[in-house]
Structure formats: structure tokens, C-alpha cells
Structure 1
Amino acid sequence: MSLEVINNPLFVTIQDRGRFGYSHIGVTNSGVMDEYAYFWANKLLKNSFDTNILEIAFSNVIFKANENTQISITGADCEFFINDEKKELWQSYNIKKNDIIKIGKILSGNRIYLAVFGGFDIKKEFGSNSVTIKENLGGLDGNKLKKGDILPFNSCTFNYTMKLKEEFIPKYEDNLTLRVIFSYQENYFLDEEKKRFLTLTYLVTNDFNRMAVKLSGEAIKCEINGIISEAIAFGSIQIPKDGQPIVLLKDRQTIGGYPKIGVVLGIDCFKLSQAKANTKIRFQEISYEEAVKKTKEFYSFVS
């Protein structure tokens, strides 16, 4: 009763909502990069919203089902096959023993999510199954999946499937506007620099992983070179000495010493996680009150 990894995938990890309340001992939150795709993958299977899932970051991943189950695939648009028959994303599928599931070429977006009914039967660490490689936590052995890994689940047989309406399926575009709350060390940035920050267009660089994404564009100047290291929130925008913004994501370090001009709205970071290199990024200011409202609306919608 398991899903078996048949080939050697480049980067597949087990994730869930993440682990919370351990930053004081240096343990980062981790968790899925795109919560929108994650929640829908579980919702299509009627799983609880904290059920673990596979986050797939590169093409060419092959699994074998060793028992009957139901799966769903969401996230980045990709070539997806069951027993060499091409299938659509954002819906559930009934899987039989010995079925072969393959993720081929990624067409748009960055990260694909594969969920099984009931999740994988794996012991949690610090309240989560999420893999954080730099901390050697989560998953099967604190690392990405490799050929021969066995992911146990409870076998089930179904006579129905579910599909998400087209209107709710996101399109991963080459232009993104990220909403920002000015905060942290904003007083160390002149008003003219903050205005420039909101008018400039940046590009996503190849320096992009689960920890952070570095952007490239005209430099933003800060009145100080650094700060005493302090806690870092999800979506924080660091401005290092070269003036190129860095947006901190799920596997970010728990503390840092670069000044931060503000923080990207968390639900916009989910869209950012699907951006490819050279995606154009612009920032738009949002009030704290509006940010809270938008965040509540998001979680009310997916729950």
C-alpha cells in the first residue's frame, strides 16, 4: 500500500502546511510554496487541509502505485500521464495497483503538487511532515525523494472523481504584481526610494529556491548597510548592499541582518513561487487592513 519512486527525480519533496512555533530554536516554517495549489489538491480528494503532499519542482518524475488509491494533480501546467495516457490537471483520478504515474515536461509555472487520498503515512517531526533539507527534517529522511523510495498510504477504491471548474484554475503569466506592506526598516529608505521601488520593474533571476528569490533591476538605496540580525517573516523583502531585492520564502533562515523595506502579502508569494526566470515583477502598496481582509478572503475561499 504505497507509491514507489521509479526514477531519480531532480527535486521532489514531501510538504504540508509547515511547522510553526519553533523559530526561536532556529527551525524554519517550511511547507508548500504554493498554498493555493496545495489546498485544491487536497480539496479534490476531500482530505483535511493539513494533509501532506508531494511538491515536484522539475520535469520527469515517475511513480508506481502498489495498491489502489485516488490522486489529484494541481499546480504548474505539465505533461501528466497515467499508464502513458495523457491526463488533465486540477482533478482527481482513481488509481489501480501497478498503475504508472508520470510527470513530464513543465509547460508553465514552476511547481506541481501530487496528493493521495488520506496523505502518506509518515511520522511527523516538530508537528509536520515538511522537508527542510538544510535542517535535515521531515519526509522519509529529511531529504528530497530518490529512486526506490516507498511512500506508504492506506489503500482505498473509489467509483467517482472530482474536477475543478476552469474559472478557478490559475494562469501562470510572465507579469506579476505583488502587493506590499511597507514595514520593518522602511524609515531607513528615503521617500523617493520607496516611490521608485513601486514604479520599477524587476526580473526574477535564476537565483530562486525554496528559501528565497533574488530579483534584478535598478538598485534601491538604503541609508544603512545592515542591521542587528532579527526574525524574518514570510515574504520579507531584504535589500542587500547591491540594492537588488530578495523576497524570503518558505525555507528562509529564521534571522537575518539585511534591512527590509517591507513584506509581500503572503497569498501573493504563492503566485511568486510559480514564476519562471525573467518573469516581470512590480510592487504595489497595500494597507495592513486591506492585507488582513484579502488574506481572510483567500483562506475562507479554499477552506
Structure 2
Amino acid sequence: MSQQPQASSMIISNPGVLALIQDIGRIGQHRIGLTVGGPMDPFSFHWANHLCGNDEGATAIELSIGGFVSEFTQDTQIALTGAVSDIKLNGKSVPMWHTLSVKAGDVLKVGFASEGCRIYLAVQGGFPITPQFGSTATVVREAIGGINGHALAKGSVIPLSTWQPRPNLMMPEMYRPSYQLKKPLRVVLGYQEASFSDFDKAHFFSSDYTVSERMDRMGYRLTGPMCRSSISSMLSEGICHGAIQLPPDGQPIVLLNDRQTIGGYPKMGAMIARDTARLAQMTQGKTVTFEAITIQEAHAINLLSRHHESKIKLKSTD
């Protein structure tokens, strides 16, 4: 439903495939049945905010696939990161991973992604959206967060924060992610891995799996060699981000940000967050493989990645 424009706002002309208000996520609410939400690709989300001078968890917009069009009613600065897309401001192509100065009346068009599928749009100061249960993250299934718990629609009016002139910045290309890499997705085995035979585990970690059409913010269903557990039934239990469930058909489901808080299928283990972000940038038909690592290796990967990211220096384009 359309809203009345405000003096300082962004008006959505076309939301594209799926446009969601997101912040860092609704942390610590599983106990009351609320999932986390938040950005599927935290690296791109955080750097969109950094380019605008925001805290890394400031409220931004996650665009899936693209096709988004909006108009600004005040001057501000924006940044777009994530999946490779053709970005136009007033019909002129502008770069991603850059701070962009926009004027009142400017029109932003985000084309469809050619590599990856999640694009992040941040504005200076973040979008001032009222939190629900400690977060602005939109989870459509729970009708919570964002604007009335729904995806953005044609005519949606998003308020903007007060704007102050600041330098335009860019992230050097050497630090930007590539969505064509085909490295294995790393998995920490869980306690139910003993219910899978040695043959099934060897098959799982040596086979190719394909992203099916059933891929969304709740999880990615993959297709490939069957892998079945000896557990025929189990009580539902809490599910972590990245958990790999194996339902009776033997086809893995990797659970992501908008997953349910409990589930009753056996799990091979959990994918590390660095790699769920990579998976979340994949579209139907992409091929993935898995690699088993220890919890100690997972901690080391995370610490080393954080160290490398702390060395990233944005450059001025003014």
C-alpha cells in the first residue's frame, strides 16, 4: 500500500524481486520463537554501511536479484555492494563499492545481478526505522521488522536520516569478493554425524550438489547424491545458522537467516558463517561441494578473516 511522501525520504517505484529492510539481525530472541533475520551476506552489508560512514549494523536494504527503482526527496550519500549489477543514477552508470552523492529528485535504478544475487543499499546515517524486539530486520514469515513486517512494495516510503556532507570513498577492487570462486563450503560436523555411515559421509564430502529452485532466506535445498541417517524419528531441537539437515529424501537443506528456530531432521553438521554468505550469493543451478573441518580450524579461519578485513582501507574519490 502506498504511503505519503515525507520531506526526507526514499520512494520506491519498483521493489524488484525482493527488497527487505535489514539490520544486523534479531539476536537472542530464539527463546520466544523469533528467528534472527539480518543480512545473508554480512561482509557486503557491513561495507555498504562503512562506505556511508555508518556503524556496521545500521539499517540498510537487502535486494535479492535486483530490478529495484527509487527516488530521493533529499540530498544524501548512498553505497551499493554485493552482487555485480548495473547501477544507474538518473540514467548514468555509477560504480558499486563506492560512496555516491545523490540529490533531491535523483532516481536510482539497480539492474538484475549478473554475478551473485544479494545487493546491499545503505544510506548515510542508516534508515531510521523503529525496531521490533530489538531489531529492524524484516522476516516476512513472522510479519515482523521493517515496515509492517512486509517486503518493500511499489509506493513504499522509507525515511532518511539527516544528511551531512562527507568525503566519498571506495573499496579497492582487490578487497571485493568474487562470486565465481568454487572453493568447497566448510562444515563442522555435529553430534548426529555418527548416524550417517562412513560411506554416506565419504559420498557427501566428495560429491557435487546443485542449488535447486527451492532457495530463499530460510534455506537452500540442494540436489545430488542421497545421504541418509539411521535416525528414523527424533524430537525437534534448536537449529543453528548453517545447519545442514538431511530429510528422508536424502537431499541436504542448508538453513539460513530466516530459518525456523527448531527442527526435527538429523543434521550432518553446520556450515561456517563465512561460507553461508558465499552460498547465499548463489543462484539456482550453481554447483557446490563440502569440506569437513574441525571447530578449531573454524575459529582460526574466522580470526584470520577478521584480521585481514581489519586491514582494509577505503580510499577517497574526491
> Same fold by TM (over 0.5)?
yes
TM-score, reference length from structure 1: 0.97
Q: How does 1:65-104 map to 2 (within 5 A)?
A: 65-104=72-111
2:201 corresponding residue in structure 1: 194
1:284 corresponding residue in structure 2: 291
Residue segments in structure 1 that go unaligned for 5+ positions in a row: none
Displacement of 1:262 in angstroms is 0.7
Amino acid at match of 1:110: C
Amino acid at match of 1:216: T
Aligned equivalent of 2:162, options 143, 155, 176: 155
1:256 corresponding residue in structure 2: 263
Matched, 1:227 2:234: yes
Amino acid at match of 1:50: G
Matched, 1:243 2:274: no
Matched, 1:172 2:161: no
Q: Distance in 2 between matches of 1:69 and 1:293?
A: 39
**CA offsets 1:33-87 (integer angstroms, 9 cap, x no match):** 0001011111111210110110001332111111011000000001100000011
3-state SS of paired residue (2:203): helix
Kept in 1, the 8 Å contact 2:211–2:287? The answer is: yes
Amino acid at match of 1:7: N
Matched, 1:63 2:70: yes
2:23 corresponding residue in structure 1: 16
**CA offsets 1:192-235 (integer angstroms, 9 cap, x no match):** 21111110110111100000000000101211223210000000
Does 70-79 or 217-226 show the bigger shift?
Answer: 217-226
Structure 2 vs 1, CA of residues 135 and 202 (structure 1 numbering), >3 Å: closer, same or farther?
same
Displacement of 1:246 in angstroms is 0.5
Amino acid at match of 1:205: S
Residue segments in structure 2 that go unaligned for 5+ positions in a row: 1-7, 311-318
Displacement of 1:121 in angstroms is 0.8
Kept in 1, the 8 Å contact 2:66–2:119? The answer is: no
Q: Distance in 2 between matches of 1:301 and 1:280?
A: 27
Does 51-60 or 227-236 show the bigger shift?
Answer: 51-60
Displacement of 1:105 in angstroms is 2.2
Amino acid at match of 1:101: L
**CA offsets 1:142-172 (integer angstroms, 9 cap, x no match):** 0100111111122324252111111111111
TM-score, reference length from structure 2: 0.92
3-state SS of paired residue (1:94): strand
2:61 corresponding residue in structure 1: 54
Kept in 1, the 8 Å contact 2:125–2:162? The answer is: no
Aligned residues: 303
Kept in 2, the 8 Å contact 1:44–1:163? The answer is: yes
1:298 corresponding residue in structure 2: 305
Kept in 2, the 8 Å contact 1:36–1:302? The answer is: no
3-state SS of paired residue (2:213): strand
- Aligned-residue identity in percent: 36
Aligned equivalent of 2:136, options 116, 124, 129: 129
3-state SS of paired residue (1:43): helix
Matched, 1:41 2:48: yes
Q: Distance in 1 between matches of 2:45 and 2:304?
A: 17
Q: Distance in 2 between matches of 1:37 and 1:282?
A: 23
Kept in 1, the 8 Å contact 2:125–2:163? The answer is: no
Amino acid at match of 1:76: A
3-state SS of paired residue (1:185): helix
RMSD: 1.3
